Structure 1
Amino acid sequence: MRVALRLASVPLAALLLAAILMSRGLEREVPPRPAAAEATGRLHPIGVLRPMAVEERRRALGERIFADPRLSGDGSRACASCHDLRTNGATANRRDLGLDGQELPLNTATVFNAAFSFRFGWEGSTRSLEAHAETLLRSPAIMGASPDMVVKRLSADPFAVAAFYEAYRRPPDKEALLDALGAYQRSLVTPGSPFDRWLAGEAEAITPEEQAGYALFRSVGCTACHQGANVGGNLFQRHGIFHALATPEPQILRVPSLRNVAVTAPYFHDGSAATLEEAVRGMGLAQLNLVLDDGQIASIIAFLRTLTGSYRGTPLASPP
């Protein structure tokens, strides 16, 4: 699940209508916003929409399972193998390797703030974190296992059995396994970015230069697709509408979140953009038919850097 850039690719009127309808659905759930937030239209701070109350024992169990190599068929990897929570929630690889040693077809997206997305995976093929976890477990290339296989392994471990009894009042089973993984992932949010603090009314949280970058980001049309609490993640879009961009397949993708985008290189579904500058330049041409100059690119990037939040009090960072 890696953050990347994806802008408008269908007629603007249709995009704006879809965005308005979607934003109205979200705004029913949020309290009145401060003046800075009103000025941003459809963007909201992390944590404003649907506070994610997670039962702590289930979250803690999910955290342990997330890092357990018994999740994979050959015992060689866990979720945390490709989602490094000490840095950016993903890796620095263009594409990670599958169990067969070959590159996976899609870039690994960050797991941070994934719970705010309306669908999961680059193609948005699953509707819940639990269903997505099961899909990944069953993938021959990614985990090469199954929920039943993992449950059998955990059931042979007295400590794991005790943890499931504590969290669910029953021994390990498929539903509890997937629920624990989902509960943990819902806790992986990164509030406190400079942009969020500005949205909340802290006028000096971002500089005038960064505010100018955000104004440019809006004026060229980026917010038609990158909107809501996750600055993306809430609609599908076609890429390469004006000019080719990255690998042509799959053509339709879930618009990724731009949260923490400054620390989640490389970009795009195939990891083909090594730098944020390359990604912004490519998106402007491919999705907007705009040739952005160096100054405009630098200005937009200045804004994008304000979207980096913190996990457990520590700002996210690029992998070494």
Structure 2
Amino acid sequence: MLDANSTTAKEPITPIPEPATIDPLKVKLGERLFGDPRLSHDNSRSCASCHDLRTNGASRNSHDVALDGSGLPLNTLTVFNASLSFRFGWEGKFRTLESDIKASLESPWIMGTNPSEIAERLNADAGVRQEFAAAFGRGPDALNVVDAIASFERTLVTPGSRFDHWLAGDPAALSADELNGYRLFKSLGCASCHQGVNIGGNLFERHGIFHPLASPQPEILRVPSLRNVATTPPYFHDGSAPTLDDAVRKMGLAQLNSTLTNQQVNEIVAYLQSLTGYYRGVPVGASP
């Protein structure tokens, strides 16, 4: 467990904790469901279709594809560390992980089904019924289908980034450029919105305060987490920034009214690259 020492205790960011202790039978079942295409109405996709845990917890697409073949309106957010956010989705419409999961299942564009329909399908599978009985003491139903998925998603935290090691007191964890980037991140005002354990995810903000940033709608967004941000291009709610360099420059101008120099951008990007954590013993973005 990483603990901030006296030199970093007043920093606006805190180390990410180890995964919560959750019933392993529920977690195992939730992981199985996360990759099960029976969760979609036409059996064409699973949660993992848009949230690839082998890469970045999302995808490399600006817009993932809806069930009807059209593009989804917003860029897919990573599921890694999502449970640490105070609201869910770009617009923050959902207050609990369970309500966010249920909304995705019921969305006609994403999964096009509902927990009751899924439970009925799963009840036809004797092996799955047995797993639910072991984890919940009963077969699949609308409540425990969502509970199992949420239990698994709560384990998808990625501790151990180099920045977290620095916060915990290792002065050699960051390079000079990365430290300079973190100082700029604070002094320029980036940390006003991107702070806390998830380096974001804990407040709402209007985008394009000084200059247009990306697609004008939605106008108010939940500030995204910057955890593992180097692994999650393209950026912004419309996926319009292809690289971290581009995103940093545009954010500086749009949100801070600052035209950043090349050196400032390079150092901030270097700092952001230190935010990549570990999932199951390997860095996020590096398949086991």
Q: 2:39 aligns with which of 56, 65, 71?
A: 71
Per-residue displacement from partner, 1:104-124 (whole Å, max 9, x unpaired)? 000001100000000000000
Establish whether residue 56 from structure 1 lines up as the match of residue 24 from structure 2. Answer: yes
In structure 1, C-alpha distance between the alignment counterparts of 2:10 and 2:278, rounded to whole Å: 24
Establish whether residue 240 from structure 1 lines up as the match of residue 208 from structure 2. Answer: yes
Partner of 1:153: 121
In structure 2, C-alpha distance between the alignment counterparts of 1:58 and 1:72, rounded to whole Å: 20
Per-residue displacement from partner, 1:93-149 (whole Å, max 9, x unpaired)? 011010011100000011000000000000001111111010000100110111111
In structure 1, C-alpha distance between the alignment counterparts of 2:156 and 2:8, rounded to whole Å: 23
Q: 2:150 aligns with which of 168, 179, 182?
A: 182
Partner of 1:43: 13
TM-score (norm 1): 0.87
Higher relative contact order (CA 8 A, sep 6+): 1
**What does residue range 303-318 of structure 1 map to in structure 2 within 5 Å?**
303-317=271-285
Q: 2:90 aligns with which of 117, 122, 134?
A: 122
Per-residue displacement from partner, 1:267-299 (whole Å, max 9, x unpaired)? 000000000011000000000000001111001
**What does residue range 244-263 of structure 1 map to in structure 2 within 5 Å?**
244-263=212-231
Look up the equivalent residue of 1:188 and give its one-letter code: L
Look up the equivalent residue of 2:216 and give its one-letter code: P
Please state how far the C-alpha of 1:52 moved relative to its aligned partner. Answer: 1.9
TM-score (norm 2): 0.97
Question: Share of identical aligned residues, percent?
Answer: 55
User: Which aligned runs of 4 or more in structure 1 are off by greater than 3 angstroms?
Assistant: none
Conserved in 2, the CA contact under 8 Å of 1:263 and 1:318? no
Please state how far the C-alpha of 1:162 moved relative to its aligned partner. Answer: 0.3
Conserved in 2, the CA contact under 8 Å of 1:238 and 1:253? yes
Look up the equivalent residue of 1:46 and give its one-letter code: I
Per-residue displacement from partner, 1:167-212 (whole Å, max 9, x unpaired)? 0001111111111110000000111100001111111011122111
Q: How many residues align?
A: 286
- Please list every run of 5 or more consecutive structure 2 residues that lacks an aligned counterpart in the other structure: none
Look up the equivalent residue of 1:214 and give its one-letter code: Y
Partner of 1:288: 256
The alignment partner of 1:38 has SS state of: coil
Please state how far the C-alpha of 1:39 moved relative to its aligned partner. Answer: 4.9
The alignment partner of 1:299 has SS state of: helix
Establish whether residue 33 from structure 1 lines up as the match of residue 4 from structure 2. Answer: yes
Partner of 1:208: 176
The alignment partner of 1:35 has SS state of: coil
In structure 2, C-alpha distance between the alignment counterparts of 1:236 and 1:92, rounded to whole Å: 25
Look up the equivalent residue of 2:244 and give its one-letter code: L
Look up the equivalent residue of 1:149 and give its one-letter code: E
In structure 2, C-alpha distance between the alignment counterparts of 1:208 and 1:275, rounded to whole Å: 22
